[in-house]
Structure 1
């Protein structure tokens, strides 16, 4: 009998094949944040505004490199990833402290169970791409502080909303569908842009943002 692969198991398998991040980027920095999958390409963390003192949550934090960079800028960061080995890798590389912590949990479960509120939620080719938005987006909105910001990215290649990929489903929606979904989930504002790829034969990156209500 074939053993059923759970989403957690599928992501754990993916994690074991992940390529470690470079020690430095093209500018020689040891920490950085990219919204696209292409090295040294596209916008950086400045689209988040000043993160000093802000509480930041990353859904699908992987090896923790994005949050480690934001922590160097003064943010208080929490990363959530469904694969246990990703949490282990992140803590071994970046440590754990009052301003940087990593949690092994499915994103929606974490949001349901957490009592914390965050100023910023990010997901870079992460959990927002692989979780039903009708379930996930309202949970994110409830965990955002007033006027809190959600920004996430994924490939600019549309596919069916329920397209199965082994144990993993992908919601690779258009920018306008994400905007509509954010409004339906209670966000006050929503917008998107497409970051062009570094060369024409590659997919662009869809960058989506929403802000929570002021009260």
Structure 2
């Protein structure tokens, strides 16, 4: 598999994605969203953060979820490999009141930092696009006892499991960029996290909004 440099790939992806809306359906200026659909699904309560808790967003993109945690009094840290994504996050959420943001690859950041976290999460982010054999142990090392790992991504296509190619389209005359992703069915994720020492693992597919035939969202929760 000819894989594109990850920073280039996610910079390209960022330029194609619309910014988060100014407000959601309730009129909130910040909010947490696990799914690919607006105003749908659970919120930050899945993280089970204590007051003022510290949370790490791996693959934070333009920072909307981390900004929501910061706005609610949490210590929010976001990392992403894409400088374009992070620049957009800083421009929208600011440097002082917003989350701490760093350009870094997830495994390297987790191995290099001495900080610990009450929760580590990924919304269509690094947990989908990093080898779990490398990432899951690194996350567990940085979680405080009882801390939560929560992530979401699209459910796998039937028969396409494990390491897959994911394509980021470019212009009509350009080949798409290729990144790796890891797809597993819910029970396979549960076994995999248990093998890496996580407890209370639960992987479920959240149904898409009513009235649609679109794919749901795989949500996985576990505890260190």
Worse overlay, 157-166 or 99-108? 157-166
- Which one of 198, 201, 204 corresponds to residue 216 of structure 2? 204
The CA deviation string for residues 141-189 of structure 1, in whole angstroms up to 9 with x for no partner, is 0010010000000112343312223431111211111111111112132
The TM-score normalised by the length of structure 1 is 0.92
- Which one of 197, 204, 223 corresponds to residue 193 of structure 1? 204
* 1:160 alignment partner in structure 2: 161
Tell me the secondary structure at the aligned position of residue 183 of structure 2. Answer: coil
The TM-score normalised by the length of structure 2 is 0.88
Alignment RMSD: 1.7
* 1:175 alignment partner in structure 2: 186
**Which consecutive residues of structure 1, in runs of 5 or more, have no partner in the other structure?**
none
Alignment of 1:72-111 (within 5 A): 72-97=71-96, 100-111=99-110
**Which consecutive residues of structure 2, in runs of 5 or more, have no partner in the other structure?**
167-176
Distance in 1 of aligned mates of 2:23 and 2:85: 20
Structure 1 residue runs of 4 or more that deviate by more than 6 Å after TM superposition = none
Alignment of 1:109-124 (within 5 A): 109-124=108-123
Worse overlay, 42-51 or 196-205? 42-51
Worse overlay, 150-159 or 58-67? 150-159
Distance in 2 of aligned mates of 1:152 and 1:13: 23
Q: How many residues align?
A: 210
Q: Does 1:147 align with 2:146?
A: yes
